[in-house]
Homo-oligomer: A and B are copies of this chain.
Amino acid sequence: MISKVKNAMSTLVGGMMPHGHHHHPGAGQHCPGDSLPPRFPYGRPDFLELTPELLQYSTEHASRPVLTLKRGTRLPWRTGYAEVINAGKSMLNEDQASCEKLFVKKPSGKHRNSTLLEDNGDGTGIPMHFWGVFDGHAGSGAAIMASKLLHRLIRDRLGEICHLLENPNSAPPICLAKNGNAYQVDSKKGAPQEPEDPDAVCDSTLRFHMEKTVSLESLIMGVIETAFKQMDDLIEKEKASYAISGGCCALAAIHLMGKLYVANAGDSRAIIIRNNEVIPMTNEFTPESERQRLQYLGFLRPELLGNEFTHIEFPRRIQHNEVGKKMLYRDHTMTGWAYKTIIEDDLKFPLIYGEGKKARVMATIGVTRGLGDHDLKVYNSNIYIKPFLSCVPEVMVYNLDENKHGSNDVLVMGTDGLWDVTTDREVADAVSAYLSCCDPSDPMRYSLAAQDVLMRSRGVLKERGWRLPNERLGSGDDITVFVVPLAGGELET
């Protein structure tokens, strides 16, 4: 993510070396973890198998080398991958990625508290595939931590409902006893009810009249949603002991039992390309797309605005001498604009300000969902921004088993650096064209396609910066791309 957080950006990067102490707190960014060791050292995804020399090479802003898998390395599900560092906005690549095959199983006594350390266990259980891209801002700490742990949190939470996953054809029970089994109330004999319960009969009647059926799919969506929250809480908790800088957008795809769950919190994007047709699998969460939610919070909890901001949106800053005149505005209930008479209070800075990539919450941050950012404050103030940010993803489901897929049908996941300069359609055309010219048996084909589409967004370095073939500016941001073949599960050996 480029320049998504004002003032606190280019200098605030985690140390390259383990336990590095090269933190330069950005202006206005309170860094209680300054003297603490990082939770995980900076690095690139393990599957890239970078030597220290290559790791150093990967940070060269002048050449921006595109990194991909070594020939011979295989990712689960035949996944293709490519990444490139930004054009200089931060010393290090603040994007991170993970691609894992895991196994969901019932937590055993032994594992209950230590599974976060494990990826594969003993290889038994329900197989689950995970792909994650994490686009950091104001430091790489949160993105690195999420790339190491989010998939395990999801796996562990799925483990808790493992016995329900094993019966995919029966709806999950509404109530579970402490042993995890369905809690059944026998309405005729009467359940063991507290004698003072005056609603017992009424409840019992109601219960049999009105009981929602919840699908297993909704339960898995709920697991993913709550795991994101748990990840965010864990970052907050561990900040007491470790330096975990910044925040990150999180985009995750989970394959479980024939379905693909795509969960997005931030402005990364995923699309499915099937028969050269584009199926969007995410919506982006930005100050513009979430304007009404943010304004509503500012309206209901004005104390969060710290007397510095107004929840009302104006098309530009108001000048003191305009008080009493009429200006266009919109509040949290409106989509259109109307005129209002300007009062003193309207001179405060708008909670949402700017357009497109320049839109900001509280003049600070350009994304409204993600993980971390617990310490993020408005420049030169004591106003926290975290209450306005959501860590909960939107989850979309694609039924993989119900569709036929050729070897050129893929899921493309990318950080905003990819999509800022290339449309969905252009990405789909590029990937489809590349794959159809590519040897179907080449194990590198999806990585090569990822590399190809990434280069289209990066461009080439000319005198006037990174340029696309059409001379428009290329993306100066970190870029991370997964190309996941939809038939990859069948192809996997």
Interface residues of A (CB under 8 A from B): 160-161, 172, 174-178, 183, 185, 191-194, 197, 199-200, 203-204, 206-207, 210-214, 217-226, 229, 293, 296-297, 300-301, 314-317, 319-322, 324-328, 330, 333-339, 353-355, 358, 390, 392, 394-395
Contacts and interface: CB of A to CB of B under 8 A. Distances in A.
Contacts of A319: 185, 191, 193, 197, 199-200, 203-204, 207
A159 to B, nearest CB: 13
Contact of A176 (B197, B327, B392): B327
B207 A334 contact: no
Nearest to A217: B336
Given A221-B335, A225-B338, A226-B334, 14 more contacts: A174-B328, A175-B322, A183-B322, A192-B321, A193-B319, A193-B320, A200-B319, A207-B316, A210-B353, A210-B358, A214-B328, A218-B337, A223-B338, A334-B392
Nearest to A164: B339
Top-9 shortest CB links A-B: A221-B336, A222-B336, A212-B315, A222-B338, A333-B392, A176-B326, A211-B316, A222-B337, A197-B320
A197 B318 CA distance: 12
Nearest to A315: B212
What is the oligomeric copy number?
2
Given A214-B337, A334-B222, A336-B220, A178 B300 contact: no
A325 B222 contact: no
Contacts of A199: 319-320
B225 A334 contact: yes
Nearest to A314: B174
Contacts of A330: 222
A445 B419 CA distance: 51
Contacts of A354: 210
30 contacts: A175-B322, A175-B326, A176-B326, A176-B339, A177-B325, A178-B325, A192-B321, A193-B321, A197-B321, A200-B319, A203-B319, A207-B317, A210-B317, A211-B315, A211-B316, A213-B315, A219-B338, A221-B336, A222-B330, A222-B334, A223-B338, A224-B336, A225-B333, A225-B338, A229-B333, A293-B296, A300-B301, A333-B392, A334-B392, A335-B395
Contacts of A390: 333
A397 to B, nearest CB: 10
A214 B315 CA distance: 8
A302 to B, nearest CB: 12
A297 B333 CA distance: 13
Given A193-B319, A218-B336, A325 B175 contact: yes
A112 to B, nearest CB: 16
Contacts of A193: 319-321
Given A176-B339, A219-B336, A336-B218, A194 B225 contact: no
A339 B394 CA distance: 19
A428 B203 CA distance: 43
A335 B392 CA distance: 10
Contacts of A328: 172, 174-175, 214, 219
